[in-house]
Amino acid sequence: MNLSALSLAAALALAALPAAATPPQAATLLIDCERPALPDQQAVARLTGIDNLGQAYAVRARLMAEAGRACQRAGTQQVRIVSAPPATDARRLAAAR
């Protein structure tokens, strides 16, 4: 087998794997409490790493509900939604060593 056949086989093997969610990007959503507006579904998908826009729609609704509750607190003018970095799995780290 030559190099191009190996790379094609590797590409086909990767394509056969189930699609994994895109890792979240370092982004934030800013909600103005005076005029709350729905963020773009693509922005929610980028923030959370969700590839399915239907799921991003549901997550956006939950995030807006949380932001609405946060806006009810006295003195709150804006709510910033940030994604938390993924927790490291101790077993995965031990296996890598």
pTM of the model: 0.59
- Asked, for residue 35, whether it belongs to a domain, the answer is yes
Which range of residues forms the domain containing residue 61?
Answer: 21-84
Does position 32 have pLDDT exceeding 50, yes or no?
Answer: yes
User: Is residue 78 in some structural domain?
Assistant: yes
In a domain, 4, yes or no: no
Lowest mean pLDDT among 23-32, 33-42, 54-63, 87-96: 87-96
Residue 6 counted as domain residue: no
Average pLDDT over residues 2-21: 44
Q: What integer pLDDT is reported at residue 89 of this predicted model?
A: 60
CB 39 within 8 A of CB 29: yes
Q: Give per-residue pLDDT as tens, 40-88.
A: 888 888 888 888 888 999 999 999 999 999 999 999 999 998 887 665 6
Q: State how many domains the chain has.
A: 1
Half-sphere exposure of 95 (CA within 13 A, CB side): 5
**Is residue 50 situated within a structural domain?**
yes
Output the pLDDT for position 1.
43
Q: What pLDDT was estimated at residue 90?
A: 58
CA distances from 60 to 27, 49, 67 (A): 15, 13, 10
Question: How is residue 11 written in tokens?
Answer: 């590409």
Report which of 12, 42, 10 is spatially closest to residue 27, judged by C-alpha positions: 42
